[in-house]
Structure 1
Amino acid sequence: MNMTLAPYTLPSGFVLPSIHSGPPFFTQQPNPNSRKIATDNWTRLLLSYARHKKLFVLRAEDVDVPNCEWEEVLSNPRIGRKIRAAHLAAILAHMVTSGQAVYDPPNQTSAVLLYWRSPEEWAQVLHDWASSTGQLNTIMTFYEIVEPPVPSPLSGLPFPILRKAITVLTKSNRAQIIAVADGEGVRFLSGQPGR
């Protein structure tokens, strides 16, 4: 089968880059320079796909889970290729090392939380949301933030990422952690970053 390398639009509307049509992309490259280029391309692809689909968790074993939420990016049925779990684990390790993901739960190396927004970016989204919804100086539980009655950009945000974003806000005097009856809460303050 002779297939040209071209971007491909998935049914979800996500556009796969042309490199995704190349069989070598799905193979862990032995040459360090080629491996770095491929790993960087995989990293960009996984983060942009995660952002498009609002996915936060990726596991190396997802490559072998039929119909998983990552299937359309981890494989390419048009060329009969899919990434192997060990290759994906190496990419995840690179993402953790470069600060674009964190192992979750800690003390294992097969599942990560993806930072398609950095904790600093999430902190700004969080503070903007608190300001625009009138939540300043109100104590809210973490659960109320990630499971709001009206969907928000924070809906479904994993607690570890939320906690990092709140930590960023506390360092800039724009939030404070409050102990509440059923866990952790936060009070958003109107302080400005850097003050």
Structure 2
Amino acid sequence: MSFLTLAPRTTPSGYLLPSIHSAAPLFTQQPNPNTQAVVTEHWTKLILSYARHRRLFILRVEDAEAAGNDWDEILRNEQINRRLLPSHLVYIMADMVAKNRAVYEPARQTRSVLLYWRTPEEWAEALHGWADSTGQLNMILTFYDIIEPPVPSPLSGIPMTLLRKAITVLAKTSRAQIIWVADGEGVRFLAGNTNK
């Protein structure tokens, strides 16, 4: 019988899996609450880091139920014949929501989360920085202009829910103003006072 060495390895997408991903106990829900807390923290870091690497925003319980999705590289480890069970993923997602590292999306269900690999506050700073660097302060932009800009940006593809939260953060600091336009909602980014 051969033993796998716990070593980092690179996935086909170029993500560097930490060595803990080769430890079978990571894939099993632990009966000891302290041990499970450690396992959950490892999974949370892994999920958020991988989501950032792949620019994934949504994680669903179904991603652990069936193979062939964007999450296979981390929810499964064929080398040790392990996969994260859906019930374990439900537990991890609930912990992430409780610690404000994700929110249930859509609301009022527990099978799908919007991941905060950047917090709404971090997205707000990225959004304002993008508007400033592209010369779009004081211009009215539709939400579509931000999500699907003509030139790809760090905000391309951001879910509407997350975009709204980021704009709300900026509005509270007088650096954005929501405006109704013919196509729906728009936003005007303002220089604002960043010393608040």
Q: What is the TM-score when the length of structure 1 is the normalising length?
A: 0.98
Say if 1:179 and 1:185, in contact at 8 Å, map to a contact too: yes
Pick which of 80-89 and 63-72 moved more: 63-72
Percent identity among equivalent residues?
61
Alignment of 1:1-195 (within 5 A): 1-195=2-196
**How many residue pairs are counted as aligned between the two chains?**
195
- Separation (CA, whole Å) in 1 of partners of 2:193 and 2:166: 15
User: Cα deviations across residues 94-134 of structure 1 (Å, max 9, x unaligned)?
Assistant: 00000000000000001000000011100000000000111
Pick which of 175-184 and 158-167 moved more: 175-184
Gaps of 5+ in 1: none
Offset at residue 156 of structure 1 (A): 0.3
User: Cα deviations across residues 125-161 of structure 1 (Å, max 9, x unaligned)?
Assistant: 0000000111101111111101001000000000110
Gaps of 5+ in 2: none
- Separation (CA, whole Å) in 1 of partners of 2:66 and 2:150: 32
SS of the equivalent of 1:186 reads: strand
- Separation (CA, whole Å) in 2 of partners of 1:58 and 1:17: 20
Offset at residue 2 of structure 1 (A): 1.1
Pick which of 43-52 and 9-18 moved more: 9-18
Q: What is the TM-score when the length of structure 2 is the normalising length?
A: 0.97
Q: RMSD value over aligned CA atoms?
A: 0.9
Point out 4+ residue stretches in structure 1 off by more than 3 angstroms: none
SS of the equivalent of 1:48 reads: helix
Q: Which amino acid aligns with 1:5?
A: L
Q: Which amino acid aligns with 1:17?
A: P
Say if 1:177 and 1:185, in contact at 8 Å, map to a contact too: yes
Q: Which amino acid aligns with 1:179?
A: W
Offset at residue 51 of structure 1 (A): 0.3
Offset at residue 12 of structure 1 (A): 1.5
